[in-house]
Amino acid sequence: MKNDNFDNYSEKFLENLLLGNRQNCSTIAKQYLNNTPSVIDLYEDVFKVSLYEVGRLWETNKISVATEHLATAITEGILNELFDQIISKKRYNKKVIVACVENEQHQVGAKMVADTFEMYGWESFFLGTGIPSNELIRYIQEIKPDLFAISLSIYFNFTNLIRLLEKLRHEFPELQILIGGQAFSHISPEIVSKLGDITHIGDLYLLKKYIQFLNSNFNTNDHGTK
């Protein structure tokens, strides 16, 4: 959960994101982990808080689209720096594909989701943005994942999510599906409940509990090494 003692980290991170200073942002992230050795806390309390504010500043014309894109790129670069630290030695023979809804331009949240699965022993296939629905269908047929996670950042792409869910249900009626992303802050729980047999995950803490629940129900044959 959010630790108010570390609010200054998110403030400093945001400040340096807006300045485009990747080195300082990377240093701030490492300093945070030295004080609070939880990657999920770092993702939620620093990266997510900062990027949501970047998005708000862009939507209100306080910063340029170039600044917004650079902030996103810097954060994603730091995520890649941390990957070796987060991957779990204990592995499960379980696979998840993580992708964004068609026409989405933001993939950092989805990358955090993929990382969280890796933290808890899953093999994640992070596809990010720019994958047409038909290509997603083909890739699912190839990989045969145990779960498919979809990120929706922009509310205006909600109809694309509905179309994708319809295709997934037709092609893979037994596939477990997770949905999440910033757009759901503008979507009522009643509307989400009408999407059918899917699971909405609101943050990485809930995702952690969800994965741990799944892992606790696996048989010993589901364990593997990697």
Q: What is the 3-state secondary structure (H, E, C) of 119-145?
A: HCCCEEEEEECCCCHHHHHHHHHHHCC
- pLDDT, one tens digit per residue, over 9-44 is 999 999 999 999 999 999 999 999 999 889 999 999
CA distances from 58 to 107, 123, 175, 216 (A): 17, 34, 36, 42
Q: What is the pLDDT of residue 218?
A: 77
Residues 91-224, CATH architecture: 3-Layer(aba) Sandwich (3.40)
Say if residue 219 is exposed, middle or buried (CB neighbours under 10 Å; 0-12, 13-18, 19+): exposed
Select the CATH number that applies to the domain covering 4-86 from these four: 3.50.50.60, 3.40.50.300, 1.10.1240.10, 1.10.1040.10: 1.10.1240.10
Q: Which amino acid is at 168?
A: L
Whether the Cβ atoms of residue 100 and residue 188 lie closer than 8 Å to each other = no
Structure tokens at 133: 């629905």
> pLDDT (tens digit, 9 = 90+) per residue, 70-84?
999 999 999 999 988
Q: What is the pLDDT of residue 2?
A: 46
User: What are the sequence ranges of the domains in the chain?
Assistant: 4-86, 91-224
Averaged in consecutive runs of 10 residues, what is the pLDDT profile of the chain (226 residues)?
64 97 96 91 95 92 96 96 89 96 92 96 95 94 97 92 95 96 89 91 96 84 46
8 A C-beta contact, residue 125 and residue 98 = yes
For residue 223, the model assigns a pLDDT of 52
Q: CA-to-CA distance for 106 and 100, rounded, in angstroms? A: 8
Write out pLDDT tens, residues 134-143: 999 999 999 9
Can you tell me the distance from the alpha carbon of 103 to that of 160, in angstroms, rounded to the nearest whole number? Answer: 8
Q: How far apart are CA 170 and CA 137, in angstroms?
A: 10
CB 184 within 8 A of CB 214: no
Distances, alpha carbon 185 to alpha carbons 54, 84, 97, 191, 210, in Å: 16, 31, 23, 12, 20
168, 148 Cβ separation under 8 angstroms: yes
What is the DSSP code string of 30-85? Answer: HHHHHHS--HHHIIIIIIIHHHHHHHHHHHTTSS-HHHHHHHHHHHHHHHHHHHHH
The three-point CA angle 33-179-52 to 5° equals 50
